[in-house]
Structure 1
Amino acid sequence: MSHPDPELVQVRSLADHPVVDAGTNALRMVAPGAVTAGRFGLVEYRLGPRASGAAPHYHQTFSESFYVLSGEVTLYAAGRWQPYRPGDFALAPEFGVHGFRNDSDEPASFLILFTPGIARERFFAEMAEMRRSGRRPGPEEMTAFYARHDQVMVEE
């Protein structure tokens, strides 16, 4: 019987995954798919007070799970927006329509776990750059952007 290899365990310090500032929101790629060999990706997301996050959408090739750390996050699930508080968990499987925002006057933070660990960090980096630069792509460019990142937007 072989013994487990202690070298397989990976530890990332806070400096290994800096915050990406997106205006009133910020995110940290805690464990991108590149680090987990595509098993999963983990993002810490921070929403400022009364901040928008993601309009209702779904993904065809990966699931997202949400775990609220602090504040109150309003998630779109089962066809309606509802508040989630610290310790609450939600799973949006493939084709499960979901979204998130902060409707409260306090900041909120939560984790997003996506499986498998696709290169989702590219999506977040591009979105942050658009917000930071103030660039407002037209509908055709946004449709192509979402298609590149397996994000299908839906009407509420």
Structure 2
Amino acid sequence: METIRLGGLELRFKQTGEGTGGALDLFEMTVLPNARMPVPHYHESWEETILGLSGTTSWKVAGRDVELPAGESLFIPRGVVHGFRNDTQEAATCLCILTPGVLGPGYFRELAALVAGGAPDPARMREVMLRHGLVPAPAG
């Protein structure tokens, strides 16, 4: 199974829209200590459900802070700005389910390649995000 590393994030796809007839994307994500999502964003074409498997991640969803420990879940509707981080000293793992399955691992591979070279160009990151259906949240 392929592991995609994106800064302090590790993703392992279990199912893709390609293999599920577009029904869902399913991946396991490990967030290393003190890591965060590179850019808060929203998506217009899919919902996201997160299930905490181990450790605790901290999410900001529609401006609200939400702690997600193991065994708890979080639903993020289309169009809702969200981001996450791991403020703890232990890795946290969650299962991410995107419905329908229209994102796939290609987006994460592209972003990982940008981040691997050091500080990525914000304009290039934005272009990759928008091309894959993620809309970066306005700063502030």
Could you tell me which runs of 5 or more consecutive residues in structure 2 were left unpaired when the two chains were aligned.
none
Alignment partner, residue 152 of structure 1 = 135
Q: Tell me what 2:39 maps to.
A: 55
| Root mean square deviation, CA, Å | 1.7
- Following superposition, the deviation at residue 135 of structure 1 comes to 5.6
**Displacement after TM superposition at 1:54 (Å):** 4.4
- Say whether the 8 Å CA contact 1:58–1:152 is kept in structure 2: yes
Identity value in percent: 32
Give runs of aligned pairs for residues 3-152 of structure 1, distance below 5 A. 17-134=1-118, 136-137=120-121, 139-152=122-135
Contact 1:61/1:94, CA 8 A, preserved across alignment: yes
- If the length of structure 2 is used for normalisation, what is the TM-score? 0.89
Structure 1 residue ranges (4+ consecutive) displaced by more than 4 angstroms after TM superposition: none
Contact 2:53 2:93 survives alignment (8 Å):
yes
Contact 2:111 2:125 in 1 (8 A): no
TM-score normalised by structure 1 residue count: 0.81
- Where in structure 1 are there 5+ consecutive unaligned residues? 1-16
Does the Cα contact within 8 Å between 1:64 and 1:93 map onto a contact in 2? yes
Q: How many residue pairs get matched?
A: 139
